[in-house]
Structure 1
Amino acid sequence: MQIVTTPDRFNVPDVFVDLTRLVGQRIFLKCEGFNFAGSIKLKAAVEMIDHAERAGTLRPGSTIVESSSGNLGVALSMVAVSRGYHFICVTDARCTLTARQIMRTFGAEVYVVTQPHPVDGLVGARVRRVRQLCADNDDYFWPDQYANTANQAAHYTRTGPEILDAFPDLDLLFVGVGTAGTLMGATRYLREHRPSVRVVAIDVVGSVTFGGPNLPRMIPGLGSALPSKQLDVSYVDDVVMVPEVDTVRACWHLARSGFLFGGSTGTVIAGASRWYEEHPEAAGGTAVAIGPDFGERYLDTVYQTQWFTDLYGAEMMDGDHAAPGSTGSERMSA
């Protein structure tokens, strides 16, 4: 039995899904959404706020302000309201309506940036808005997930040990990259305690993190329009770049077996599957993929046929790649 008094102190660390039957490879998906914020971002949110409170940079009555595409904003809004802070999330139109509504339900303000920065895109515009808000208000605190080492510390002290405790014979780790906090924290721990693990970073086509061109991306979560301030590529063995179409298809494929995962998780699974196609000699080892989120917040985007066809074209959808709900029906009775 677990009894909690605040929602930010609850997180289930040891749920893994065996994906062998679903993707044809022995991959164990670490499900990070079993907490009251619904994603892995709760770990970073708690660690950054705890660190700021200990350092005295976050004081009673302060306002927390952060740039987020959704999941961290939800996590910070929950942590803020449970500890008596006000929270402002600066996001953009890619943030799902559900995530925005959750934040507002927790009492947060949500600012939606509509004009991208000419070089740094929407993320750059969001960061500039955060900086301006902090410059104009002395009692505003910016955790800065992009540069804050407490972000990766959460995964060095928790995610990495959780994985190795469950799979001490681990051979492969697949992890998605946004700010690179999860990647760096978990990988630093594994390099110290099981250096033989092969680390595969999963990024999104259109992200600049590993040197690619900055292109439009519609699914919030992984990828970035700004170079990572936390990434050390020496910790990474391989990189897989995933087109968003493959992210959606992975989500749909898993939904047909009853697993409703979010866009970030779909990207990681799609990337792991592609990596195995290019490295068949690695089959049979013990692999863990980190699944950051669940799919409820993506019901009006990733899981909508019209959203998909509007963005990627109807020709990208065929009998094998139809949306899970495209053949479903709804009945009403008197």
Structure 2
Amino acid sequence: MIDDAFVDLSPMVRRRLTLKCEGFNFAGSVKAKSALWMVNDSEDAGLLRPGSAFVESSSGSLGVALSMIAANRGYRFTCVTDSRCNERNVRLMEAYGAEVVVIAEPHPVEGLLGSRIRYIQELCRGDPGILWLNQYANDSNWRAHYQTTGPAVAGAFPDLDFLFIGAGTTGTLTGCARYLKSIGHPARIVAVDSVGSVTFGGLSGPRYIPGLGTGRRPEIVDESVVDEILLVPEREAIRMCRFLAKKGCLLGGSTGAVVAGAWQRLSAERDHVQALGIAADLGERYLDSVYDDEWVRARFGEIGEFDPDEENMAAAAAGDAICG
């Protein structure tokens, strides 16, 4: 695993913000860690043996990582995803030999995720020999980051003030936060979630960017180790992604939300605070969505461009108006 790839965004966003780039891992995302730990622990427990079959629900990145591992170890893998999963991830999974099931009809309460999980439950009832890894409740998900990502953050940034982490299943968030709290690290842990996600009690709403937010609260969520929660509209995540791309950093949709949330939160802090954001993946797999003009207009209309200097001036003017 690659745990020492960092990019300083400070000159671009006018905030002292660094990104820990997980997109250089095998399988192209932070999900490589959770995938490996869940499979290894299942093998150690005797739940996976040569020729076994397993299934998982994924919006894309975890499915790609599991497809790679299954191909390497001779397992049969079925990924249950939904219509938000981009075509590139579907094709990657199929290239590794995985079966991909795309769910199109959302559950009336728990959305597309709820429908994915119900499909898996029915599949497992029909064939008890299929193992469901269940990343939403599997402690190996967060333990992967307790043992890798968390220590890497602490080692590289012992005096960090803020750590911003996107919340999907919350495996990365929970594992990193628990590790940093366990060693008494000073960083405030900020969970970045999407508007429309119910993970932290928000109102359910439409979401289009995979990898961030849920329509059903994951069992491994641990709010006791989270200091702050930020809800970021997807249009702001997209604006930030596109701004960073024009500066030479092509990053995934959830990273856009993390940077947008961090930018806004740090505007209320003194200039010398040090912040780090976790970038879950890179942007190549989002070329047909976040970076496609027609896709964006069809879902969000005209979103405009992000300009940190103009945004800073607008924020300052609003503050002066309030003080006056």
User: Scaled by the length of structure 1, what TM-score is found?
Assistant: 0.90
8 Å CA contact 2:38, 2:133 repeated in 1:
yes
Count residues in correspondence: 308
Partner of 1:138: 128
Structure 1 spans left out of the alignment, 5+ residues: 1-10, 322-334
Partner of 1:284: 272
Superposed counterparts of 1:114-263, under 5 Å = 114-263=104-253
1:103 aligns with 2:93: yes
Alignment partner of 1:37: what SS? helix
1:317 aligns with 2:311: no
Partner of 1:328: none
Alignment partner of 2:27: what SS? coil
Query: For 1:165-204, what per-residue CA distance to the aligned partner results, in whole angstroms no more than 9, with x for missing partners?
Result: 1111122110010111111100111001134221111000
Q: Residue type of the partner of 1:280? A: E
Give the Cα–Cα distance (whole angstroms) in 2 for the partners of residues 60 and 71 of structure 1: 24
8 Å CA contact 2:20, 2:277 repeated in 1:
yes
Give the Cα–Cα distance (whole angstroms) in 2 for the partners of residues 296 and 184 of structure 1: 27
Give the Cα–Cα distance (whole angstroms) in 1 for the partners of residues 265 and 218 of structure 2: 23
1:41 aligns with 2:31: yes
Partner of 2:256: 266
8 Å CA contact 2:33, 2:144 repeated in 1:
yes
Partner of 1:8: none
Q: Residue type of the partner of 2:22? A: E
Partner of 2:316: none
Partner of 1:306: 294
Query: For 1:18-65, what per-residue CA distance to the aligned partner results, in whole angstroms no more than 9, with x for missing partners?
Result: 010111111110000112200000000000000000000112111110
Runs of 4+ with >4 A deviation = 318-321
Q: Residue type of the partner of 1:298? A: Y
Structure 2 spans left out of the alignment, 5+ residues: 309-324
User: Scaled by the length of structure 2, what TM-score is found?
Assistant: 0.93
Identity within the alignment, % = 51
Q: Residue type of the partner of 2:279? A: G
Give the Cα–Cα distance (whole angstroms) in 2 for the partners of residues 319 and 202 of structure 1: 19
Partner of 2:57: 67
Change (3 A) 1:308 1:199: same
Partner of 1:30: 20
8 Å CA contact 2:243, 2:305 repeated in 1:
no
8 Å CA contact 2:71, 2:96 repeated in 1:
yes
Query: For 1:222-255, what per-residue CA distance to the aligned partner results, in whole angstroms no more than 9, with x for missing partners?
Result: 1000012111212111111000001101110110
Q: Residue type of the partner of 1:180? A: T
Partner of 1:83: 73
1:56 aligns with 2:46: yes
- The Cα shift of 1:273 comes to 0.8
Give the Cα–Cα distance (whole angstroms) in 2 for the partners of residues 24 and 79 of structure 1: 40
Alignment partner of 1:210: what SS? coil
Change (3 A) 1:319 1:103: closer
Give the Cα–Cα distance (whole angstroms) in 1 for the partners of residues 60 and 236 of structure 2: 21
Partner of 1:331: none
Q: Residue type of the partner of 1:275? A: R
Q: Residue type of the partner of 2:269? A: P
Q: Residue type of the partner of 1:291? A: A
Change (3 A) 1:126 1:153: same
Q: Residue type of the partner of 1:198? A: R
Give the Cα–Cα distance (whole angstroms) in 1 for the partners of residues 242 and 172 of structure 2: 25
